[in-house]
């Protein structure tokens, strides 16, 4: 399990109260640059990854295309990429932000935004009506405390279990960050600053029943108000929003070109509108007080991506969603940050909640101050904006109705059982996904699993293509009654080993997808014809160009869970956290698909985990 060191992000994060001699961002410039893999290795990895999806003749044709690419245009593109890497310490960073996110024209709400759930509802805060504002205030206080420590560089640097420092750069996109719609391309505005860099907005914007309020939980002396005072202000906001508000937030749920036009018109309509938009965009984060009543894991996760669209602002990188049942989830734009940034925040807050049993945190500042009452933000609207709101709501309701979300614990084993048999639980769960899909659909599924490259300067992710030939051979053996237990077990161990090796390589920047992505962008920016490698059907069949049938990500062992909609119309999205004695996945699919069924897939994954456990336990337990 060597790749544990590069995969597990912050399982040993120090307490925020501990002494921290190194600044949060102090080590960033000393991190190594993101490497550019040798072209030959990338092409070999890519070719190998296509094999499960091609006939022999198709594979021979793809091999010819890959060879010609490597000896021809690919070699020239690779030289240009190496030139870029000499002047860009992370050569993929801006391209990835631009082309993976900001050029996307689909609506952010439901289709692109991340949702998530902290672990506190399993062991501290079960659903309980009457706790909405109290829990929202407590979590807002801890989040603002985290924000202030980040501004002062008092957060510990994330490290893997080998002690290797990780990039903290994504934190700069967690707070005071917003997306601005454009007709052809969006932009990100990052307003966050360290104390050493200057002043930074410290207000929060609260949405409730379509109303929008400015709340100032940090006073003019940069002192965080007690959580009890934040609670009082949230209760006041609830009283002021018993009737339906303007619901301007619904505009952010439309497709990007439509929202871009509405946004520009709204901003130009009245200088007050422009000021209110600035207030929302520069806020530390947003809080949505939602009257929804989720009571199960599936409902928590569903409401994280759906819910009251009139009380959302899809552009913000981070928002707390606080429901009538006292359940608190989160939602945010994926462009500036990856899910583990929020998972790490949730873990630190959860550790503090355990210490206080979910009650009020102790505030260092309990003295008198000039509390500023929440201020409602009223927008000037006209017929054009009202029609845009109607269109956005129609877009949202169609997308929300089409997304199916299921989340529940599965498996009769987890981390501890896997540890006993020297198996990495992530590899085990990935193989369970492969077997489940093969059982239901009788074919392999091109699979994306997130691998971290945060050990490099400004590192984000690489793609691990986890549907390997080894995994497919094992799946076929499991469904073939003529194959013996010993054969199945040997193939299982081979597939596990392959997954472990691929994860290690991906974490060290040696996957194939980011490299091929970079070469494709260079060709495009140079005005060259699209190379045959990218138009070859094998590229799409194996997942290239955002065509992964299974899009998956592991959130580690902290209990936090995330989610994003599937990449493909006929695909599944699977996000999961690993507990000591089970797995907690969140699975998503589209109702419009005639191929996928998330309920059947969940049952199949559960059955696959049982099959794996029985296989491992049969015969010699020493693997």
Supply the residues annotated as catalytic: 334
Dist CA 43 CA 69 (whole Å): 9
Dist CA 221 CA 159 (whole Å): 33
Q: Which residue, 63, 39, 80, 66, is CA-closest to 533? A: 66
Count of CB atoms situated within 10 Å of the CB of 393: 17
598-604's contacts with Cβ under 8 Å and 24+ in sequence apart are 598/404, 598/405, 598/406, 598/572, 599/406, 600/440, 601/436, 601/437, 601/440, 601/572, 602/406, 602/408, 602/410, 604/435, 604/436, 604/437, 604/439, 604/440
For the chain, helix, strand, coil in percent to 5 are 45, 15, 40
Q: Which residue, 186, 188, 190, is CA-closest to 103? A: 186
- Whose tokens are 């896997």? That residue is 418
Residue 218 Cα distances to 133, 140, 240, 283, angstroms = 18, 11, 22, 12
Output Rg (C-alpha) for the chain, integer angstroms: 24
528-534's contacts with Cβ under 8 Å and 24+ in sequence apart are 528/73, 531/69, 531/73, 531/74, 531/77, 532/65, 532/68, 532/69, 533/65, 533/66, 533/69, 533/74
Which residues does residue 189 pair with via DSSP β-bridges, in sequence order? Answer: 178
Q: What are phi and psi of 162, to 5 degrees?
A: -85, 0
For 425, the token pair is 């639980």
Instruction: Give CA angle at 567 (81, 82), nearest 5°.
Output: 5
For 32, the token pair is 């190594």
Q: Which residue, 409, 412, 410, 393, is CA-closest to 401? A: 393
Instruction: Give CA angle at 291 (175, 317), nearest 5°.
Output: 15
């Amino acid at each position: 399990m060597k790749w544990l060191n590069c995969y597990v992000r912050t399982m040993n994060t120090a307490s925020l109260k501990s002494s921290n001699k190194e600044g949060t961002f102090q080590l960033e410039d000393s991190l190594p640059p993101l490497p550019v893999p040798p072209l030959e290795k990338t092409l070999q990895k890519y070719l190998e990854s296509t094999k499960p999806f091609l006939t022999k003749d198709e594979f021979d044709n793809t091999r010819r295309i890959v060879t010609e690419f490597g000896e021809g245009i690919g070699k020239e593109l690779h030289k240009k990429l190496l030139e870029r890497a000499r002047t860009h310490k992370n050569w993929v960073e801006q391209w990835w932000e631009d082309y993976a996110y900001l050029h996307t024209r689909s609506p952010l709400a439901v289709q692109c935004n991340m949702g998530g759930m902290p672990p506190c509802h399993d062991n501290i805060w079960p659903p309980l009506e009457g706790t909405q504002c109290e829990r929202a205030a407590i979590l807002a206080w801890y989040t603002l405390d985290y924000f202030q420590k980040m501004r002062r560089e008092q957060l510990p640097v994330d490290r893997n279990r080998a002690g290797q420092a990780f990039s903290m750069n994504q934190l700069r996109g967690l707070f005071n960050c917003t997306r601005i719609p454009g007709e052809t391309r969006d932009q990100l505005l990052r307003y966050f600053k360290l104390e050493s860099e200057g002043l930074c907005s410290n207000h929060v914007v609260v949405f409730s029943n379509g109303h929008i309020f400015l709340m100032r939980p940090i006073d003019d002396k940069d002192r965080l108000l007690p959580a009890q005072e934040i609670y009082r202000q949230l209760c006041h906001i609830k009283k002021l929003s018993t009737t339906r508000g303007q619901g301007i937030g619904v505009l952010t749920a439309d497709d990007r070109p439509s929202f871009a036009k509405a946004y520009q018109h709204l901003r130009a309509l009245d200088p007050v509108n422009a000021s209110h938009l600035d207030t929302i965009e520069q806020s530390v984060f947003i809080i949505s007080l939602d009257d929804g009543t989720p009571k199960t894991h599936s409902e928590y996760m569903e409401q994280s991506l759906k819910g009251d669209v009139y009380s959302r602002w899809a552009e913000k990188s981070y928002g707390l969603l606080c429901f009538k049942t006292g359940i608190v989830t989160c939602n945010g734009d994926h462009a500036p940050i990856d899910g583990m940034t929020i998972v790490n925040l949730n873990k630190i807050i959860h550790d503090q909640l355990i210490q206080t049993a979910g009650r009020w945190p102790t505030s260092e500042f309990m003295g008198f101050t000039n509390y500023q009452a929440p201020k409602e933000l009223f927008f000037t609207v006209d017929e054009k904006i009202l029609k845009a709101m109607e269109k956005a709501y129609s877009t949202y309701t169609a997308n929300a109705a089409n997304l199916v979300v299921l989340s529940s614990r599965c498996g009769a084993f987890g981390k501890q059982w896997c540890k006993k048999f020297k198996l990495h639980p992530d590899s085990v769960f990935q193989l369970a996904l492969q077997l489940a899909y093969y059982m239901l659909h009788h074919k392999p599924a091109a699979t994306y699993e997130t691998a971290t490259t945060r050990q490099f300067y400004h590192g984000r992710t690489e793609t691990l293509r986890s549907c390997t030939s080894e995994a497919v051979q094992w799946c076929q053996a499991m469904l073939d009654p003529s194959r013996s237990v010993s054969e199945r077990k040997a193939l299982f161990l081979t597939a596990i080993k392959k997954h472990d090796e691929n994860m290690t390589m991906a974490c060290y920047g040696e996957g194939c997808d980011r490299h091929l992505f970079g070469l494709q962008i260079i060709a495009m920016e140079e005005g060259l014809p699209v190379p045959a490698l990218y138009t070859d059907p094998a590229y799409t069949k194996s997942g290239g160009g955002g065509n992964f049938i299974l899009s998956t990500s592991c959130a580690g062992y902290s209990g936090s869970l995330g989610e994003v909609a599937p990449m493909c119309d006929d695909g599944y999205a699977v996000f999961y956290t690993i507990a000591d004695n089970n797995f907690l996945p969140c699975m998503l699919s589209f109702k419009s698909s005639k191929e996928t069924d998330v309920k059947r897939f969940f049952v199949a994954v559960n059955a696959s985990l049982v099959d794996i456990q029985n296989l491992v336990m049969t015969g010699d337990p020493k693997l």
